[in-house]
Amino acid sequence: MQLSVKYYLNAFNHLLFPHCCAICGADYIQLHDFLCVKCIHQLPLTRFLNLPDNPVEKIFAGRIKIHAAGAQYHFTKQSMMQHLLVLLKYKNNKASGLFLGNQLGHALSTADRFQSVDYIVPLPLHPKKEYIRGYNQATIIGEGIQQVWNKPLLKHCIIRLINTVTQTHENRSTRWQNMEGIFHVTQPELLRNKHVLLIDDVVTTGASLEACGAAILQIPGTTLSIASVAYTI
Ligand SMILES: [Zn+2]
């Protein structure tokens, strides 16, 4: 079999710029791929996105009005998923976030419940935290989603004024009092009558997403959905 010029160029490129799977280190992947096919298939899919009353939706049930919510993967400690999120959040590895965003974006683009989304909005970080990290990881995930799903990404329509959020074990009225004023929508007219998809890296208690979602829902006519890369209880 005759090998193509492209094959030799790829091989040459690989010698000059060694490129390996970010999890197992396998070096037989394409230049633009982040993981090898074997590792991608081992990531723990939830299949929540098209499933009503899934565990992520139950977090928000009775707290704020959600059109649809879901997460793409299960999160467990010492797992591949934890490794990818640590790369994104603490190792300045934006490629990990773009990869995870691509995976989430592909799933969202084929989930019926999310087709009416007008805007993708990353959960804002407090400016001080974003300055220290250098970026908002949810924004990187949003950029990854946008690469594969043709929806506008609004990066600056909401700001976070307060860094902390109350824990869910506090009673409901206390929590609401403490959540007020954490997030501020800077461009409410832009979101009026729109279906907003709020995104984040991991959903745990959902307290920050709930606070931000409540701020969005104060704008007349808005519909709120939530999607995250991973979910953990
Ligand atoms: Zn691999």
User: What is the rounded CA–CA span in Å between residue 90 and residue 220?
Assistant: 37
pLDDT given for residue 131 in this prediction: 94
84 Cα to the center of ligand 1, angstroms: 12
DSSP string across the chain: -PPPHHHHHHHHHHHHS----TTT----S-TT-SS-HHHHHHS-B---TT-TT-HHHHHHTTTS--SEEEEEEE--TTSHHHHHHHHHHHS--HHHHHHHHHHHHHHHHT-GGGTT--EEEEPPPPHHHHHHHSS-HHHHHHHHHHHHS---B-SSSEEE--S----TTS-HHHHHHHHTTSEEES-HHHHTT-EEEEEEEEESS-HHHHHHHHHHHTSTT-EEEEEEEEE--
pLDDT given for residue 13 in this prediction: 63
Mean pLDDT by 10 residues, the chain (233 residues): 68 68 88 91 95 96 96 93 96 96 97 98 96 96 97 96 68 58 94 98 94 96 98 88
pLDDT given for residue 223 in this prediction: 98
Q: What is the pTM of this model?
A: 0.88
| Bridge partners, residue 120, by sequence | 153, 197
Place of tokens 């710029």: 17
**What CA–CA distances, in Å, run from 2 to 11, 12, 20?**
15, 17, 26
Decide if domain 43-231 falls under CATH 3.40.50.2020. Answer: yes
1 Cα to the center of ligand 1, angstroms: 28
42 Cα to the center of ligand 1, angstroms: 9
88 Cα to the center of ligand 1, angstroms: 17
What amino acid is encoded at 197 in this protein? L
pLDDT given for residue 233 in this prediction: 76
**What CA–CA distances, in Å, run from 150 to 33, 106, 145?**
21, 11, 8
Count of CB atoms situated within 10 Å of the CB of 22:
20
12 Cα to the center of ligand 1, angstroms: 21
21 Cα to the center of ligand 1, angstroms: 5
Intervals of CATH 3.40.50.2020 along the chain: 43-231
Count of CB atoms situated within 10 Å of the CB of 183:
21
232 Cα to the center of ligand 1, angstroms: 23
4 Cα to the center of ligand 1, angstroms: 26
pLDDT given for residue 199 in this prediction: 98
Quick one: tokens of 174? 């206390």
User: What is the rounded CA–CA span in Å between residue 193 and residue 224?
Assistant: 11
